[in-house]
């Protein structure tokens, strides 16, 4: 089954896309787990056993405690994405290389699908008839030449695979959710078009069935896929022809897949209140409590920032310190809204112009309109009235960038055609100019990936670019503590407390740093302040799931402080409290086992080490201490 209209060029084009992708991301294979990778991969018990993916009984039993409810809900909504992490864990454990290879394969596949998508657009009756009518004339314009229809898909795919704004969706391992959803999204559209263009009934049926399957997989990967049936319906209206009844037959099965996401979020036993708490738990903690109105108003500015990043990808940041706007009448918001409205208006105008059969470039105007509308429709899930803790993340641009790049390349092609019509010599500059732009983007992507190669460079980059935001400084402080740079860590913790005095995590981190220096009285004092702040942050009976996670860490840290101070009974009490709050807390089991071993209670120590090994097979601390205790018992294994 041929995927393109120019089969002899297909292989060479795919090779070019693949090689460029490999070059851009060749320095990412050892980049560490960061940020939300912990919750979804390194600390997640769900990816450690494929049996969780075979039925609900094991999942329900495993996730019945409060700590796991948020992960449980996300697991159901993003089942396919979590399954790929489980397969990675089965093959690679926690070796990051395998995870990065998978992500890069997905990214290159998406660029290839984008290429196929545009090639198939040129096979639609709209383009085919227009191309044929122009060839009956004495002169075929440059825009409708075979070379242009070959180069436009390739240009869009190369820009997609090399653009630095994609790095967060590719190098940030957990954002596979975004890239994998895009893979199924594009595959569904490509198969839908092939079904609509197929001549045999068997081919029509098989490709359509495949499109529906891909739509289901997309819906079970990430919620951004909710817009897929809308985009397919838009494509049907803009590029294909059929009676209303025929269109209904094609579109209704796809429209029905939109129910998958709300059903997964609500579930059989979930209430709307529980969904609200799950959403709060699954989002990374933010310094802002944002209403729906404020979120929407802020998104007008965010969308303009996204557009700027696509055109000029500089000052990229994993953790933006983005101002939350309160009213629509702030000048920046009004200007952004006016700009967005004008772009959407242009898209609508282009579509209306393209309906004129006499217009020389009608189909290309429609393609440009389609790309613009794709951008805004696919952004709508995360940039509308549904508030998310962080108002901006670059990985949210991954799926919308497909439409944006289609629009940009089409607009550039139209502009080049108009220019070369008047100045034919300019045609010689087109390829060198494109290669220059592509090279700059590829170098920028490689350079951006250097920042991701090390936790220290990544957190330092965030702290430098968001100096007034507490979270990057906290991440840097925690890393300094982990690396043993305690003085630097304490300085960063004090910066965090100055920026956000009620940030409980900063006091807990400062407690760990003081404990490292043997300043146990100060360490206990800071930990107690942190726990009071945690409790004060929530009303009784309204404690979100994330509280249990953080509070477990707090008790664990305080236990370490007491252990360093020599107060073993107090330390054990804190470790057991941490385990109660977070039953899969492997390190807490090890530390509790260490206290039992110190007290000579070897059987209890062995039990705790073995539990830690059940949670994390091969956990070095647990293995080493288990061996030591069993030697003490006279039965080494």
pLDDT tens for 199-230 read: 999 999 999 999 999 999 999 999 999 999 99
The contacts found for 52-55 with CB under 8 angstroms, 24 or more apart, are 52/86, 53/79, 53/82, 53/83, 53/86
For residue 547, the number of C-alpha atoms closer than 13 Å in the C-beta half-sphere is 17
Average pLDDT value for residue range 345-360:
89
Q: Please provide the average confidence, as pLDDT, over all residues in the chain.
A: 87
| Residue 288 pLDDT greater than 70, yes or no | no
Q: Ranked by mean pLDDT, which of 112-116, 352-356, 524-528, 562-566 comes out on top?
A: 112-116
Q: Which residue has the higher pLDDT, 543 or 466?
A: 466
User: How far apart are the C-alpha atoms of 176 and 106, rounded to whole Å?
Assistant: 8
pLDDT of residue 56: 56
H or E segment at 457?
helix 455-465
**Distance, C-alpha 470 to centroid of its chain:** 22
DSSP 3-state of 434: helix
- 237 pLDDT more than 60: yes
- The DSSP output letter for 259 is G
For the beta carbon of residue 411, count every other beta carbon within 10 angstroms: 17
Predicted local distance difference test score (pLDDT) of residue 74: 76
The whole-number pLDDT of residue 281 equals 37
Q: How confident is the model at residue 121 (pLDDT cuts 50, 70, 90)?
A: very high
What's 39's DSSP letter?
I
Residue 276: predicted pLDDT: 41
- Closest by Cα among 465, 468, 466, 488 to 478: 488
Token pair 């994609």 is at which residue? Answer: 166
pLDDT of residue 73: 66
Q: How far apart are CA 314 and CA 56, in angstroms?
A: 45
The torsion angle over the Cα atoms of residues 286, 288, 289 and 292, rounded to 10 degrees, is -100
Tokens describing residue 207: 């490709």
* Over residues 334-338, mean pLDDT: 97
Chain centroid to CA 365: how far? 31
**Among 70, 26, 25, residue whose Cα is nearest residue 44:** 70
261-277 pLDDT tens trace: 888 777 644 444 343 43
The sign of the torsion formed by the CA atoms of 387, 391, 397, 398 equals negative
What is the percentage of the chain residues whose pLDDT exceeds 70? 87
Query: Averaged over 545-552, what is the pLDDT?
Result: 64
pLDDT in tens, 243-258: 999 999 999 999 999 9
Higher-confidence residue of 622 and 332: namely 332
> The tokens of 392 are what?
């901006």
| pLDDT of res. 549 | 67
Tokens matching residue 222: 């990430």
pLDDT of 342 over the 80 cut: yes
Residue spans per domain, the chain: 7-450, 455-632
Residue 432 has pLDDT above 70, yes or no: yes
With beta carbons less than 8 A apart as the criterion, state whether 559 and 571 touch.
yes
Residue 29 in contact with residue 101, Cβ under 8 Å?
A: yes
Q: Which CATH superfamily is domain 455-632 in?
A: Tetratricopeptide repeat domain (1.25.40.10)
3-class DSSP state of 617: coil
pLDDT at 370: 98
How far, in Å, CA of 470 to CA of 501, rounded? 10
- Report pLDDT for 69: 54
For the stretch 126-166, pLDDT in tens is 887 776 666 555 554 555 566 778 889 999 999 999 999 99
Query: Tokens standing for 142?
Result: 């440059």
Question: Is 72:545 a contact under the CB 8 Å cutoff?
Answer: no
pLDDT at 449 over 70: yes
Is 80 exceeded by the pLDDT of residue 536?
Answer: no
Give the integer Cα–Cα distance in Å for 199 and 212.
Answer: 19
pTM (two decimals)? 0.86
Q: Report the C-alpha gap between 134 and 149 in whole angstroms.
A: 14
- Could you tell me how far CA 301 lies from the centroid of its own chain? 20
Per cent of the chain over pLDDT 90 is: 62
């Amino acid at each position: 089954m041929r995927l393109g209209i120019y089969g002899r060029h297909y292989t060479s084009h795919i090779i070019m896309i693949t090689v460029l992708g490999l070059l851009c991301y060749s320095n990412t294979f050892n980049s560490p787990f960061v940020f939300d990778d912990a919750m979804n991969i390194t600390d997640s018990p769900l990816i450690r056993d494929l049996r969780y993916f075979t039925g609900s009984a094991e999942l329900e039993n495993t996730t019945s405690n409060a700590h796991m409810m948020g992960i449980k809900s996300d697991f159901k909504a993003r089942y396919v994405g979590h399954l790929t992490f489980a397969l990675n864990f089965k093959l690679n454990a926690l070796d990051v290389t395998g995870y990065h290879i998978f992500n890069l394969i997905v990214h290159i596949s998406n660029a290839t699908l984008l290429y196929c998508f545009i090639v198939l657009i040129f096979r639609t009756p709209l383009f085919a008839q227009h191309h044929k009518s122009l060839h009956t004339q004495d002169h075929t314009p440059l825009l409708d030449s075979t070379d242009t229809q070959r180069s436009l898909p390739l240009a869009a795919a190369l820009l997609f695979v090399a653009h630095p704004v994609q790095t967060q969706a590719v190098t940030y391992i957990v954002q596979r959710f975004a890239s994998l959803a895009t893979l199924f999204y594009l595959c569904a559209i490509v198969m839908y078009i092939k079904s609509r263009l197929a001549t045999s009934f068997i081919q029509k049926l098989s490709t359509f069935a495949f499109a529906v399957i891909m739509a289901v997989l997309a819906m079970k990967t990430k919620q951004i896929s909710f817009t897929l049936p809308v985009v397919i319906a838009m494509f049907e209206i803009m590029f294909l022809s059929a009676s209303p009844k025929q269109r209904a037959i094609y579109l209704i099965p796809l429209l029905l897949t939109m129910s998958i996401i709300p059903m997964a979020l609500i579930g059989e036993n979930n209430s709307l209140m529980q969904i609200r708490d799950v959403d709060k738990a699954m989002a990374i903690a933010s310094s802002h409590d944002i209403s729906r109105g404020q979120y929407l108003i802020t998104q007008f500015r965010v969308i303009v920032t996204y557009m700027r990043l696509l055109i000029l990808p500089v000052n990229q940041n994993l953790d933006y310190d983005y101002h939350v706007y309160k009213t629509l009448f702030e000048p920046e918001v009004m200007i952004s809204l006016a700009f967005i409205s004008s772009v959407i208006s242009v898209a609508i105008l282009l579509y209306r112009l393209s309906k004129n059969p006499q217009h020389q470039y009608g189909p290309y105007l429609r393609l440009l309109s389609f790309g613009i509308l794709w951008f805004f429709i696919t952004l709508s899930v995360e940039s509308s009235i549904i508030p998310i803790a962080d108002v901006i993340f670059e990985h949210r641009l991954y799926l919308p960038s497909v439409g944006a790049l289609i629009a940009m390349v089409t607009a550039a092609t139209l502009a080049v055609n108009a220019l070369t019509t008047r100045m034919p010599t300019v045609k010689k500059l087109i390829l060198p100019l494109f290669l220059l732009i592509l090279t700059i983007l590829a170098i920028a992507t490689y350079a951006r990936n250097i920042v991701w190669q090390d936790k220290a460079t990544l957190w330092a980059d965030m702290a430098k670019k968001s100096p007034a935001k507490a979270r990057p400084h906290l991440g840097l402080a925690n890393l300094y503590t982990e690396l043993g740079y305690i003085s630097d860590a304490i300085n960063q913790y004090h910066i965090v407390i100055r920026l956000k005095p009620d940030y409980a995590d900063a006091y807990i981190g400062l407690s760990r740093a003081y404990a490292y220096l043997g300043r146990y009285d100060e360490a206990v004092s800071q930990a107690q302040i942190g726990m009071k702040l945690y409790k004060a942050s929530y009303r009784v009976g309204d404690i979100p799931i994330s509280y249990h996670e953080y509070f477990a860490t707090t008790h664990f840290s305080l236990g370490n402080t007491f252990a360093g101070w020599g107060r073993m009974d107090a330390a054990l009490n804190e470790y057991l409290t941490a385990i109660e709050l977070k039953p899969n807390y492997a390190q807490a089991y090890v530390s509790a086992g260490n206290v039992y071993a110190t007290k000579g209670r070897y059987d209890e120590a062995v039990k705790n080490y073995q539990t830690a090994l059940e949670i994390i097979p091969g956990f070095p601390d647990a293995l080493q201490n288990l061996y030591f205790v069993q030697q003490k018992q006279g039965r080494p294994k």
